[in-house]
Structure 1
Amino acid sequence: MNPAEKLKGKKLIEQLFEEGQSVSAFPLRLVYKSFEFKDGAQMKTGVSVSKRSFKRAVDRNRIKRLLREVYRLNKADYLSNISSPHAFMILYIGKEIPAYADLEEKMAQLFRVFSKKISNN
């Protein structure tokens, strides 16, 4: 993820959670909302892992690194049919530290569900 694609700013994130919609593919949940960004970015994405589920920061950071890497390598496939700018927050809601291959599969599934939901609206 390049810096322009990072989801930052308390107001933006609060607005995303208050007004956004979500889709799930366990152990991932995607909260999304269509936005017009001031910097002209097409997508802004953030990742989050619950402190309640993973007490150790080492574990949370590892999962976040895995999520960001899976997203970075596959975002062209995931977002090829999306025309309007969106903000995404990818939440890890599982209880165990995932394997990379499992995350890759689940993230593809998550974005397929998202694409279907977007195309229906």
Structure 2
Amino acid sequence: MKTYSFRKEERLKSRKLIETLFREGKAFSVFPYRVVYMPLQEPCKYPVQVGFSAATRKFPHAVDRNRIKRLGREAWRLQKQELYEHLQSQSRQLAVFLIYTDKKIAPFSILQGKISVILKKLREA
């Protein structure tokens, strides 16, 4: 059964974990995203914890930053299932952070394609 939800427990919010992720995690880029990820040691309910961000310098208006993050979360929510099943079959867990790097807001259809590529790369990694 596929669940298309994005619950609170799936969001990456722990400051300590985020700092560790940026210090020790691996990274790759799929324009317009920079993806930082690392395997998790502590068990949690979901196989992936994910965070999204957009730079204040590139988007001075909070409305734009929020829109970018909302579009990214929605694209992730609709496509995450294959990655989740793959990680659960191997009993692995990941922490992932997606940083939006473009200077303008891309349409949802483009972001959806990019998130799809990111999910494939994470499955391989």
**Length-normalised TM-score, structure 2:** 0.86
- Higher mean C-alpha displacement, 105-114 vs 18-27: 105-114
Q: RMSD of the TM alignment (CA)?
A: 1.4
Unpaired runs of at least 5, structure 2 = 1-5
Could you tell me which residue of structure 2 aligns to residue 44 of structure 1?
Answer: 49
Distance 1:114 1:34 in 2: 11
Q: Is 1:8 aligned to 2:16, yes or no? A: no
Q: Is the 8 A contact 1:78 1:111 kept in 2?
A: yes
Could you tell me which residue of structure 2 aligns to residue 107 of structure 1?
Answer: 115
Unpaired runs of at least 5, structure 1 = none
Distance 2:68 2:111 in 1: 10
Could you tell me which residue of structure 1 aligns to residue 103 of structure 2?
Answer: 95
Q: Is 1:25 aligned to 2:30, yes or no? A: yes
Encode CA deviations 1:17-74: one digit per residue, 9 max, x unaligned. 0000011110012110001235443211110111111010000000000000000111
Distance 1:72 1:111 in 2: 11
- The count of residues paired between Structure 1 and Structure 2 equals 117
Could you tell me which residue of structure 2 aligns to residue 59 of structure 1?
Answer: 64
Match of 1:70 among 71, 75, 80: 75
Distance 1:62 1:5, change over 3 A: same
Distance 2:74 2:68 in 1: 10
Amino acid in the other structure paired with 1:99: P
Q: Is the 8 A contact 1:45 1:89 kept in 2?
A: yes
Q: Is the 8 A contact 1:6 1:45 kept in 2?
A: yes
Percent same amino acid at aligned positions? 36
Distance 1:59 1:92 in 2: 12
**Length-normalised TM-score, structure 1:** 0.89
